[in-house]
Structure formats: structure tokens, C-alpha cells
Amino acid sequence: MTPELETKIDNLLKENKILVFMKGTKLMPQCGFSNNVVQILNTLGVPFETINILDDQEIRQGIKEYSNWPTIPQVYIDGQFVGGSDILIELYQKGELQQMVEVALAS
């Protein structure tokens, strides 16, 4: 990964409390896993932003290196990598996701 791309991703994470790297957008998810993440975050009623990795090959590959996680979507809360669709579902079902989001939005 180039230093420029790493800086770009760092800045995106600093600018957004909750950021999802996904296929498609929050209004138009383009895969089931990305849709799951959007639905969970919408259910929580929290503000979040998305980056459509289909629009940017460099970010599509770079985010996998950045997080050391091979799949998309990738969810970041307060600059920290949380996981993908399965992990978000699990955290949501345990009630832990709501807590993580509230802490991030309060800081």
C-alpha cells in the first residue's frame, strides 16, 4: 500500500465516527453482506457514512491491507476496525454494538 493511500484511509476514518467500506452505497447496497450492515446501522438510527469500493480499485484493495481483513464490507467505529457483516450481526444481537456506537458518538 502506498503511503498516500494509507493517509487517505486514515483521514477518512478521522472524519467519520462510523464508516463502512462496502459494495454500493447505504441507499443502494450491491451485495447481501453490505446490505446486512446498512440495515443494522439503520435499525440503530445512528449517522454513518459509506465508501463504495466498487468506485475505487485502489481503496478496494488497500482497505483489505489496511485492516488485514480479506473481505468487504468492513466497519470502522471511531477509527477502529470492528469487522464485517457476521461480526456486526453478532455484536448487534448481543447488544454490544449499540454500546460501542453510543460511546463513539459521545466522544
Are the CB atoms for 27 and 50 separated by under 8 Å?
Answer: no
- Domain range for 63 is 3-102
Residue 52 lies in a domain: yes
Residue 81 lies in a domain: yes
Q: How far apart are CA 97 and CA 42, in angstroms?
A: 12
Residue 107 lies in a domain: no
pLDDT digits (tens, 9 = 90+) for 14-30: 999 999 999 999 999 99
Is residue 70 pLDDT above 90, yes or no? Answer: yes
Residue 90's pLDDT is what? Answer: 97
DSSP state of 79: T
Which grid coordinates belong to 84? 464485517
Q: How many helices (H) and strands (E) does the chain have?
A: 5, 4
Instruction: Please report, for the domain that includes residue 96, its CATH number.
Output: 3.40.30.10
Q: How many domains does the chain have?
A: 1
